[in-house]
A = this chain, B = another copy of it.
């Protein structure tokens, strides 16, 4: 079976590696010259509006997926007329616009923080008075890893933040005093079968994911069931196929949905060693129309991202239970270069090993 992947970063790389044991060959479509995924499989280089190269890309493919949620929706729709595209392009459309996304969640009865669309200075003032402070102002499109957003704590910051972000479509959102950030990775097959991984706890710094603890500590059945229900509602409404990640805030035992990513997700990397079937394999199984695999965790896991630079490989591998994944990328500030999953049967031991690794990462 041949599967095309739009986007050639580390997510595409790990998808392609998960495909090989199932005799699924992946082909990458990526505009940039440097590509983490292209190091492990074939690729075509082209812009996402280069339809001639996209046409060539689609030849002989059984399905197309994407590893990058900012793939133009038109590109996905154009391909979907020629070859099945999973997840459906509609999921991309929803996820690419924060207002559309929040409105979509609300329409399904999924709780979200209070939000308002801000297009003008006047609507900014309205949002300020209706929703109040603290708040987060985000561009509605193309923000990721903390880019294109700012936290607004006091009225004295209003002018400077408007200078920074104003003039583009924005989402003004109440800043939730969350107890912690969680995410759930769910998978829906072509036959409608749905499986969920356990909720995980995520720690961000400078807008980037640094650490995932899986399963989330003190995870209750009630919390898990609620998150699964939200994921199911989203996936069924969108006729979704593949892996979906939903980021949530836990606030006093309740869940608010923050956003979704219609793709494999950084907070699911722990599943490569930490679950019976990885998110990458389950994504491949889903889009290939194969039965989904067990999402059962095999122990306690902590995933740490390697950002900007990587400690010496030998030092990381010397930590018991450390599983290192390097992406073959040129080091650069704030760039995700790899991740390490620490896996063990006792959470306290895993936490201690994670501390050793964090000391190396600095």
Seen from chain A, the residues whose Cβ lies within 8 Å of a Cβ on chain B are 13, 17, 20-23, 25, 39-41, 276, 285, 289-291, 293-294, 298, 313-314, 317-318, 320-321, 323-328, 338, 343
Contact = CB atoms under 8 A, between A and B. Distances in A.
Contacts of A338: 23
B20 A324 contact: no
A40 B21 CA distance: 10
A285 B17 contact: no
Contacts of A293: 317
A154 to B, nearest CB: 46
Given A17-B17, A40-B40, A321-B276, A23 B294 contact: no
A318 B291 contact: yes
A230 to B, nearest CB: 26
A285 B294 CA distance: 29
A52 B324 CA distance: 36
Contact of A290 (B21, B40, B294, B314): B314
A313 B290 CA distance: 8
Contact of A40 (B20, B291, B298, B318): B20
A303 to B, nearest CB: 13
Nearest to A40: B20
Given A20-B17, A25-B39, A285 B317 contact: yes
Contact of A291 (B17, B276, B317, B326): B317
**Those 8 A-B pairs whose CB atoms lie nearest each other, nearest first:** A23-B326, A21-B325, A291-B318, A291-B317, A290-B314, A290-B317, A23-B328, A20-B40
Nearest to A277: B323
B317 A21 contact: no
A271 to B, nearest CB: 13
Contacts of A13: 20
B298 A321 contact: no
A324 B40 contact: no
Contacts of A298: 298
A70 B129 CA distance: 78
A21 to B, nearest CB: 4
B290 A326 contact: no
A177 to B, nearest CB: 38
Given A291-B314, A294-B320, A326 B25 contact: no
Contacts of A320: 294
Contacts of A41: 40
Nearest to A315: B291
A216 to B, nearest CB: 22
A313 B22 contact: yes
B326 A22 contact: yes
Nearest to A319: B291
15 contacts: A13-B20, A17-B20, A17-B21, A20-B39, A20-B40, A21-B325, A21-B326, A23-B326, A23-B327, A23-B338, A40-B40, A276-B343, A290-B313, A291-B314, A293-B317
